[in-house]
Structures are given as structure tokens and as C-alpha cells.
Structure 1
Amino acid sequence: MRKLLLLGLFLIGLGWALSNFSGLAARGTYDSIVLDFREDIGAAQIESQVQSIAQKYNVTPRLNSAFSFADHIFIVKGDRATLDSLKKSEVKKYTEFIEPDYIYSAFTAPNDPDYGKQWNLRSINVEAAWDDTQGEGITVAVIDTGVSQVPDLKETKFVKGYDFVNDQSEANDDNGHGTHVAGTIAQSTNNGFGVAGIAYKANLMPLKVLSGGGGGTVADIAESIRFAADNGADVINMSLGGGGESQLMQEAIDYAHQKGVVVIAAAGNAGENAASYPARYPHVIGVSALSPAGTKAPYSNFGAGIDLAAPGGMKEGEDPTGGILQNTIDPATGESVFESYQGTSMAAPHVAGVAALVKAAGIKEPDAIENVLKQSALQIKDDALNHYGAGKLDAAAAVKLAARGQITFRDFFRWLRDNGYLNPRFWIDGGVIALWPKMAMVLGSYLLAWFLRNYFPFAWGWSLSTGLVAGSSGLFFLKGFYLFDAPQWPFRALGSSIPELGSALQGSSALNPLFASVLIPLGLIVLLLGHAQWKWFAIGTTIGVAACLGVSAVTSPSVMWLGDGTIARGFLIMNALLCFALARLAVKPGVQST
């Protein structure tokens, strides 16, 4: 039993820690703090607290605006340390909440002067995706004609590549195709020059397998796939293809997939009812092309092998506006130019760039990344010929889906470090004080139950333990749980004990006297005492409520309509004793409901 009790306390403590890890909700920045004083606090008390804050933190609390006095909203300059200190101070009793005054900003487009011409990036909602990630730390291998470091790739990071055509280390482009593809993936962005790329903080790995004329062999392509997988690539883009199935290439793709690499390929530009190879192979995301109107481009292959659709462009005659604009080279001179291309070769790197964003957001396995890309895509219901696969690429939806609920051990460790829990002084100087009341409530309920068991022996079961938790602390680690797009009130309710339930539903820090009393335990005892199993839940709940009210009377005797002084403390102590007496009566042999 002792081991079970220790294990329970450990799990509760771990849950409390996880509950305070706010994950995605804490990504905002701030340099000031909001204090919303309770409406039942008088002006004199507020002024006293404001002066106390000013003296203790050497700051000047101020009303947020001329309209803030009615709502008692004050602003204080401060950082995370100030916020944590305020939440643990005496002032918390006088406030509805204390929270960061987050800084929001207008959503602005990149400052690249020709970004306005990139209809393709706006069509995949990339700007909203950039709010969460820009692909930092992810490496995308561009298996193509090579990549030349044109001016608008100057700030893009490159890693070691290889030229398999000429068997040399420098994979320079002598065609323009590969550089254009690389630009869509990771063109230098917000550099005040040229155009933008999708995962502009990702690394590019240039792998030349196609000659200046645009042709290359399966052997070189297969070897480059293995090179990419062995040298740290996270994503492979192949804007190339043809007819003929190759076991050598299939084995290379399988090898890369097993090493965790996402492989993406263009569907082909023949307008045929089947994708080209390598898009047709298993473990490859085949991409068809969309026109600026959002429909399948006439040249794009479709049907078998199509997994997703992305912008590929469609130019009208000499008009370049319908194409995909990126910085590349003029193959005749080798000089830097900005050119609009069209083709499924231009569609595939859109998917590769978003795959890099998804992996940077926390999804690691290639199959999981593919599922995120497909599940987040804009579905086209009437698609009998499979023009679009799972649908049209949506960068923002993909990143949000990838980020939903992602809390890794690394994130948790960073949270422990940032909040000081790894610092021994935290445990010595009182930083853990917020945990003690909950631990005392849980431990107190078990001790009270143990005391009663010595006088009136009974079997210790799951129903009693569940009642003890429900009455004393609730699943309090759920109070701070954040789930993307989900309502928070169910978590607040589940995270509250029965005495705290009323205040949780009303959004107040003070206990509701109807819940923080013997009334609910009495009702449960009356209803369940005649049931062989559930009566122990009622008894456990009654004991738990006694522990919760007793600890609250000592640590935070704040009760609605009764204040936070002697009257409130007396109310809590009286009801704690009544609950314990009720539990003692209920466990007494021979007591049954009538």
C-alpha cells in the first residue's frame, strides 16, 4: 500500500508539472503583465496592493487606459520572473488573474520586393505557417541539375552536396532548373531582395544528377538518394522523372524511407493518366500541378501515383505572371536572372518546402509527415480521375496539424530548465510553494482514510481512491492543459476538486460556499450508501472534501460572499469537520440508507 501511495503522489506531481507546461500557448512575447483585480475589492485595497507591488518590484503599476478603472485592470512592466513572483505573492488573492500582456502584431508579408508576384505562395497559405516555423534545422536535398548560389540564395544555408554527373564535389547548375526548384524551397526571404521561399531557414543539399541538357541516369539518381539519406537529409525533392520501372531506384527510395527521409517527386508534364517514375514508387509523394486558377494544369499528369496537388503555374504566351517566379541562372551565360517557369517540377518543391516546415514543427517519421500533408490538404470531392490526390497543398493547415499536441521530452526538459525547477534553489527558496497545498490535500485525504480504517476496517479499492482524488484535488494537472481549438472549460472542470468546481465554472479564484461545504458529500452519501461498490466512492469523496477544505482553511481561506478572513476560515474548518464526521458515520458497520 505504501508503494502505491508513493507512486500515486509521484504521478500527481508529474501531472502537475505537465499541466504547467503551456506548450504552444506560451510562444508569445511580452514585456509587461496584466493584473485584473477582483470586482469585490474596494479601491483602498487595490491602491494598497498597487503600492506594495511598486515598492517590492521597483515598478510603476498603471491603469491600461482611461476605461480600465471600471474593470480594475492594471499593467506592470516585467518579465517571466516577475510574472512567476506575482503569481506566488499575496496580491494573487486580490486578483481574478495575472497573465502576460502578450504583444500581437499585424500579419505582414515578407519585404522581398517581388513577393507580390508569387501568387503560388499565397495560394498555399504559407504566411500563416511562418508564424510557427520557417524550417530551421531541416535539410532538403535537391536532386536535379545542381544549384548555383545566385544572389537570392546568398543568405540560405547550404550543406555538402555532390555532382554525380561529373563526379565532383561542387554541384553547380548549368541548366537553371535545379536552382529554380531550390528557390521555391528555400529562397532567401525577408532580405529586401528578389522573392521568397517556403522553408527559407532550411538547409539545401545540392545533388546534381541531370546534365546541362536536362537528362540523367537512374544509376546516378539512385546513388544520389542514398547519398542524401546517409548525409543528414530530412526531405528529398526530385523534380524529374520518366518511364521505366527500376529496382535500383526503388531500393534506394526504400533505403531513404527507412532512414526517416521524406521523398517527393513531380508527376510529369505529359498530361497522361498516370504519374511518371519516381513519383509512382511506394514511399514517394507524387505531386500534380495546379494553375493560378486552382485547377489542374493542362500539362500535368494525373491518376495513379498522384498524392497531392500544388502550384505548378501556367503561363499565357509570353506573359510570365502565371508562372512560378524564382531566382535562377541563364543557362547560356550563367548569369543570375529571375524567371517564371511552369510544370510539375515547380509543384513538387512546394510540397518539399511544406514537408520541411512540418518536420520542423515536430513530426519526425516520413509516413507521419505524409499523413499530415494529406490530412491538412484542401479536399476536392469531385475528383473521379484523381487530378488532386488527397487535395490541394495547405501549408498553414499542415503546420497547425503538425503542432497540435506535440510535447516532446526535449520540450519538457526545456520547460523545467526555463522555470527553474532544475535549480536546487527553487526547491529551497519556496519556488515550489504552489504545489504544497495540492500535495497536502491528497496526502491528507489518504491519512484521514487510513485513520478511519484503523477504527472501522474496510477494503481499500479503486472506488474509494477515486473518491479521495475527486474530493481532495481533482485531476488538477488538467487545469493548464492546452489542446488546439478545443474548449478549455472541460479541462478546468476535470482539473478541479468538488470544492473547487463552483469557482472553476464561474472563473473565480474564491471557493463557492455551495460546493465548498458538506452539502455535496451529504447528497452522495444519501444516494450511494446502499450500493455495495459506489458507496465507497461517496465515502472517499467525503474524506477528500474534508482534506481539501481543511488545507484551504490554512493556505487560502477565500470564499465567495464570506471574504478571506476569519469568517471564511471558520466556515471551511466547520465543513471539513462535518465531512469527516459524515465519513466516519458512513463507514461505521451497520449503517445503510433507508
Structure 2
Amino acid sequence: MAATRRFGATRRTTTALLAGTVGLLTPLAMTLPGWAQGAPSDGYFATPPPVDMSKLIPDSRQPDKKYKQQKGCVQRSTLGQNIVLKNRPWGQDYLQISKAQEIVKAATGSAGANVRVAVVDTGVTQHPWFQNRVKSGGEYVAKPNGKPDGLEDCDGHGTEVAGIIAAKPDNAEVGFVGVAPDATILSYRQLSENYEPDNTPSSPPPSSSGTPSSGTNPPSGSESALPPSTQGGGGGSGESDGTSPGQSNGGRQLEKAGTAGTLKTLAEIIHGIAERHEADIINMSVDNCRPADGRITEGEQQVQAAVHFAASQGIVIIAAAGNATDTCPQNDQPDARKPKTIVTPPWFADDVLSVGAIDETGSVAPFSVHGPWVGVAAPGTKIISLDPAEGSDGLANLTFENGDKASEIQGTSFAAPYVSGLAALVKAKYSKLDAKGIINRIKETAQHPAAPGGRDNYVGYGVIDPVAALTQSLPSEVGNQAPIPAPQQAQLPPANPNDSTPMIVALAGTGGGLVALLITLFVMRTIRRNRPAETGPTRR
């Protein structure tokens, strides 16, 4: 009985010691920083604030201010070359675009016919390889002379974007073709770097047939802002066709000083397209980049409300993830939840599918901006597309810098239209899918990166796989629950050599382990000491 009482006392003592240890460690745990306790990040960083639909503005269907042309438009020139581009872009082979088109043609008889893709960009030239499938959408820069709204591409950017989506060469020797070559393009000219706000008395614009102004080198890593050179006529005469530079600034950024294009007009266009049911898909290879400082601007709120409204109307919204430049720093900070750069409209990932870029090796392109909002990725380097110069009937694969230095076309601007073209093919083959269903099919069939939840901040859910997107049976579409895995945010804290919290956590854990070990040894010793001694056999 005495031994039993002593053993019970020992257990009470052990319980008291354990309770004391827990009580000692609990206050320490309560003082841990948010990242250590799994708390969400503070401020509007990776996640924007809730949508404010009071910021939804009507579509004025006109420029927000008066602009004047300051530089000559992209134009053809004689380069003394006689080259016809016959090779397929590497991106087409990488994504097996021809197989994807065959699948859709076998099911529907065309590759995207009756699907309407709105291209919100610098305008689209009526290149002959569009076969009159480019329609006027709207004009938000300046009324073009003798052309329908949106069908002048002074900068040369929007035509290349639209070509990746829906170009259809008439020359069988040419390898290049748009992803959905039977789709219809609606062009909205929303920005231009060849135009500037008109704050002076009116003066005649530079002649588009004159000698264009020399360009300057764009920021390292950015998509070139200089219009492309044409290395031959493709399906035309095969004569030497080149495109002279028409502007000198890098990137396609909204709200850039001295250019045309604001978040306000972008919001108006998106709202108008949705309200009038003008398109099934919106491609935006334009964006606004700024420091992530915990705020949201009025223009961003207007775009957020517009994309939310458009998504609710069943429109697939696709945007370029943005290009890292000197003025748009790469998100390479330790804590992915607190980016140093915000890109709009990709920031509004609940309603926008943003597209990062990969290079020909399959790696993430160094200029592609990282972020928790990246949805998928597609080829964005060594681009071949339509020559945007007036009167051209060929292709372009180079841009000119300083008037004579040729460089390759690249940028997330040209990755986005690959995804828009795929969305058009999916829309054509799966006509009953709504916008969310199309986006989910593209995400779920992408080549997922080796990361928690099957996504990361570089390529999102992975590089698109058009053949899988058009053939794979998805459990989520037949009633079984197979949702896209929730994004897994990085749990590593920012590096801070002066932060003592990690050492406190480590020491607390070590101390707790030592206390537990001492308690165990004490209990075992007490049990052994109070155990009745074994006796030998009784002698008679």
C-alpha cells in the first residue's frame, strides 16, 4: 500500500511538472511572429482587397483625353535581303499546336470558328493572313485616318499578339500559324507609345511614310518596344520586307508618362465588352506595374470591378504576367506573400488568368515577373508572328534597336496569346463549358511544376498542354470532386540576421526536449526505487 501511495504521488508530481512546462512554453508560442503561426500576411500584397463594385465605370467608347502622334508609325523598308520565314516557331512544336488543331477540326470542322477573341492592345493591322476576320472593336487613343476604330497599329505590338492567336497563312511552305486560325479578332486600340497627351496647340502628326525616329535600347529583360523587322514575305512576293522602328521606349506599360493608355480606359473597355457581349475571350498583353506598398489605386479598383463583372458574364479573361525591367523589379524577395512589385490586371487572379513566359529550354524566362497571381505559362521568346506594317504580307521575327541593331521578339505579351488561342480551341470543342470551366481545364491539364499543390509563383499551374486540354477527361466535369489544389504559399520568413526569433524558437524547443527527458528519467528512477524487492524461494 505504501508503494502504491508513493507511485500515485509520483504521477501527480509528473503531471504538475508537465503542466508547468506547457505553461512555460505557451507564452513563448503566443509571441511568435505571424509567419511562424501560419497567420496571413498583412496589407494588400499578394492578395488584393475585396472587389468594390461601386468602382465599375461605364464605357465612354472614346479616348479619355486628347492625344497627338509624336512618332512615325511602324513601316516597311528595303533591307537588301530576300528571306522567307518557313520554319515553325519553336513554341508551336513545343505545345504540339498542329495536333491540337487537328483534334478540334475533327470534332467541329474548324479551328475556332465562331469564337470571338478581343485583343486590347495597340490596335491590329488588317494583315492578309487574317482573311478579314479582324473586326473593329473600339478606339481609345485617336481616330485613325480612313480606318475603322482599332484597326490602326502604329506601334506594331497588337498585330503580333493577334497573329499568334488567329493568323492563317495562305502559303503552305510557311510553318507559322495562329493557335486558333479560324477565330475572329475584335481589336480595341487602348494604348500607344507613339502618341502622347496633347497639351499644346494642334500640329500635324509625323508622316507615317517618312523616316521614323531612331529608337533607344529597351531596359534589359523587357519585351522590346521597337516594332519588328520582317525577314521576308512569307506568303507574299518573297521580296525583302523590313519594318523600321516607330518608338523608343521599352515594354507595354499603362500609365507611362508621355504615352497613351490608362487603367481607366482599360476598365471601360472590359466593362463595355462584357455589357454588350461582344467577345468570348479577352486578351490583354498590356499591364501596369508599381511597387507593392499596401495600397490599391482608383484605377486598379476600376479594373478589378470590370474584370469581376466580365467574369460574371462568362468571359474568359487572359493577361500577360508582365516583364521585369528597371522600373518593374522582379519579385525575388524571400517571402512570396509580400511581393515588392504588383502587376495589374494579373493581380486580380480570382477573375484573370495571367500568363508567365518560358524560353526554348522550357525554363522560366528571366524577364517573366513572378507572383502568387501567375496562373499558367507559355512560350515567350524567339517569337515569330505577322509583320504589322501597313501593306505587309509577311512575317516578323526581329525588332530593331537604334535603327539598325536587330534583336529577337520576346515578352510575356506573346505568351498570353498562346493561352488565348488555346482558350478559343477549348471553347470551340467544349461549347457547354462556361468561362470558369475553360480556365479550370487549361489549369488542370497544364504540366504542373514539382511544388506543393502543383503550382508555384513562376509558372503557376504549369506550362499549358493544348492536346491534354482538348482530350483529357476531368473528374471535376463529371460530378466528382477534383478541384484545383489550393495554392501553397511559401512558409520561409524573410532573411533577417538581426531577428532573434528563430534562435528563441530553437532554444525553446531544445529546452522543452531536455525538460521532457529529465522528467522521464526522474519517473523511471522513482518507479525502480519503489518497486518491491524480489525475494528468493522460501527455505523450509
Bigger Cα Rg: 1
TM value normalised by structure 2: 0.49
Structure with greater contact order relative to length (CA < 8 Å, sep ≥ 6): 2
More helix by share: 1
TM value normalised by structure 1: 0.45
